[in-house]
Amino acid sequence: MPTKVEKDTVTGTDTTGHEWDGIKELNTPLPRWWINVFYATVIWAIGYYVVYPAIPGLNSHTDGLWDWTARKQLATQMEAVQADRAQWMDKLASTPLDQIPQDAALMEFAVAGGRAAFADNCAPCHGSGGAGGPGYPNLLDDDWLWGGTLDNIHTTVAHGVRWSADADTRVTEMPRFGVDGILDKNQINDAAEFVLSLSGGGSDKDAAARGQQVFAENCAACHGESGQGTRELGAPRLADAIWLYGGDKASVVQSITGARAGVMPAWAGRLDEATIRQLAIYVHSQGGGE
């Protein structure tokens, strides 16, 4: 409580009467309209309580006069975005697949949408950049199990690989040469050495020479005489630097012994045709497309 209001001798201004350790505070009055602006903002703030959701209850909250929530606003905005996109999506679904690359604007839309759809649906297995991992193909390189044209990629995305629920899915089955007793351990070892030698690898030339015979009798039907692979059968090319399950000898031996059969879901039915096309175009545009 101010008690000793006095006039400051230097400035001629009254003090507020407050004093702390001999320091006195000059009374320099604030303009009254200024403090009134402060009160006005307080009243303005009450308006927020009235029109916006504000006061929490046990299970809910007051809705406010405007019945606004961020979630409702988002829903409205998303609807507007979807409506905006609809004409592009329709065009994407109705244009023949091979003619889409001629339309630069449509391509831009497809690649941008494909990037988002890829992150949502494909990245868990193929990686966010599409580089894949052991067992999950790298989509950026020039080696394709089932073909790398736009049409091939579209078919793979739509119908999946070894996805039994889809009648048109891509299916192939490599025999389990070791597990099922078709080849013995030595034959498998020789075949593995031969396979490695196709791309300049392997260490045992004699074994590789023996393995050539094993390969010709058991593997060449699908993988080709020189290991060039057969895309119609999804049989990988073995004579290159790319190995889906690893290119060391142990991995190759394991592949021959137990076979490999990666599975990819069919996306037709889960995603609409336009989104699948976006995905195919996006993957095709990442460097490996043929």
Partner 1 sequence: MSTLPPSLAGKAARASADDQPLYADRVRVYPQRVRGVFRRFKWAALIVLLAIYYLAPWLRWDRGPGAPDQALLIDMPARRAYFFSIEIWPQEVYYLTGLLILAAIGLFLVTSLFGRVWCGYACPQTVWTDLFMWVERLVEGDRNARMRLDKAPWSVAKAFRMVLKHSIWIAIAAATGGAWVMYFTDAPTLVVDMAHLNVSGATLFFIGLFTATTYLLGGIAREQVCTYMCPWPRFQAAMFDEDTLIVTYESWRGETRGKHKAGDPWEGRGHCVDCRQCVNVCPTGIDIREGNQLECIGCGLCIDACNTIMDKLSLPRGLVRFDTVSNQIARAKGGAAPFRLFRPRTLIYTAVLLLVAGVMAFGLGTRSTLDVNVLRDRNPLFVTLSDGTIRNGYTFKILNRARADRAFALTVEGMPEATISVIGGDSDTERLVLTARPDRVETYRVLVRAPRGQLTGDSTPLRFVLIETLADGEIAVQDTVFRGPR
- Alpha carbon of residue 94 to chain centroid: 25
DSSP 182-229: SS-HHHHHHHHHHHHHHTT--S-HHHHHHHHHHHHHHTHHHH-TTS--
In the complex, minimum distance from the CB of residue 58 to partner 1, in angstroms, rounded to a whole number? 39
* CA pair distance 267, 64, nearest whole angstrom: 43
In the complex, minimum distance from the CB of residue 42 to partner 1, in angstroms, rounded to a whole number? 16
* CA pair distance 109, 90, nearest whole angstrom: 12
Nearer to partner 1, 138 or 169 (CB): 138
Nearer to partner 1, 39 or 206 (CB): 39
Nearer to partner 1, 141 or 272 (CB): 141
Question: Is 140 in a helix, a strand, or coil?
Answer: coil
> Which residues form the interface with partner 1 (CB under 8 A)?
2-5, 14, 16-17, 27, 29-35, 101, 107, 127-129, 131, 138, 140-143, 237, 240-242, 285-287, 289
Nearer to partner 1, 2 or 269 (CB): 2
Query: Measuring CA to CA, which residue among 212, 205, 204 is closest to residue 187?
Result: 212
In the complex, minimum distance from the CB of residue 288 to partner 1, in angstroms, rounded to a whole number? 8
In the complex, minimum distance from the CB of residue 142 to partner 1, in angstroms, rounded to a whole number? 5
